[in-house]
């Protein structure tokens, strides 16, 4: 496995071209829908137009031929869950460190929040780590596939009875 970190800064106007609220509809089929504070339906949508620039981050996880041949016939599912938990945790810490350098910035990431074992939303309680939680880019209606294609020149890949050539973990930091 090899990891490559892609980074790019774009204007908020360019970022807005990746917003497509129809993508929020896909969230309804997710097991996290309405169960995590980072996911749809969001209690409040942030005003992203208060920002001027967006730092895009795409962590590309490239699998070796050995890994692609080893994790097949369903084994890739458990492997992917464990891998994403580790990778997303590291990316969360890295993003929090970068965010600390830019007062007033906001950070977001693809997928659900991974901070708590069980989200307090399931018991109708407020988030216990709201300053650390990363709202899902998916929940904002962001077309992540279009961002990775247009900004980094790479298509998203999916499991098809085994690991794909690579995965992405995408995040961003909105700057004033």
Each residue's pLDDT expressed in tens, for the chain with a length of 176 residues: 999 999 999 999 999 999 998 888 888 888 889 999 999 898 888 899 999 999 999 999 999 999 988 888 888 888 888 898 899 999 999 999 999 999 999 999 998 999 998 999 999 999 999 999 999 999 999 999 999 999 999 988 887 778 899 998 999 999 99
Measured CA distances, 105 to 46, 92, 173 (Å):
12, 15, 7
- At residue 45, the pLDDT reads 86
Helix (H) or strand (E) holding 94: helix 75-99
Confirm if 59 and 168 have CB atoms less than 8 A apart.
yes
Own/partner pairs, 77-81, CB within 8 angstroms, 24+ separation: 77/159, 79/163, 80/159, 80/163, 80/167
Q: How far apart are CA 172 and CA 106, in angstroms?
A: 8
Q: How far apart are CA 68 and CA 164, in angstroms?
A: 7
Q: What is the torsional sign of CA 46, 47, 51, 54?
A: positive
**Is residue 41 reached through a cis peptide bond, with omega within 30 degrees of 0 on the bond before it?**
yes
Of 54, 73, 48, give the one whose Cα is nearest residue 7.
Answer: 54
- At residue 24, the pLDDT reads 86
- At residue 48, the pLDDT reads 93
- At residue 160, the pLDDT reads 77
| CB-count burial class (<10 Å; 0-12, 13-18, 19+) for 108 | buried
For the chain, the maximum distance between any two Cα atoms, rounded to a whole number of angstroms, is 47
């Amino acid at each position: 496995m090899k990891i490559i970190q892609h980074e790019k800064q774009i204007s908020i106007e360019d970022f807005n071209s990746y917003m497509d609220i129809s993508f929020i509809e896909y969230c309804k089929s997710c097991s996290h829908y309405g169960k995590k504070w980072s996911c749809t339906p969001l209690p409040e949508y942030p005003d992203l137009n208060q920002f001027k620039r967006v730092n895009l981050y795409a962590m590309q996880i490239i699998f070796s031929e050995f890994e692609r041949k080893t994790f097949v016939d369903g084994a890739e599912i458990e492997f992917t869950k464990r891998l994403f938990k580790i990778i997303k945790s590291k990316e969360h810490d890295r993003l929090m460190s970068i965010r600390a350098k830019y007062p007033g910035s906001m950070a977001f990431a693809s997928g659900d929040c991974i901070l708590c074992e069980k989200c307090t939303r399931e018991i109708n309680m407020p988030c216990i780590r709201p300053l650390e939680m990363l709202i899902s880019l998916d929940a904002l209606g962001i077309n992540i596939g279009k961002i990775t294609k247009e900004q980094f020149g790479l298509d998203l890949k999916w499991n098809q009875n085994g690991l794909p050539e690579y995965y992405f973990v995408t995040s961003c930091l909105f700057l004033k």
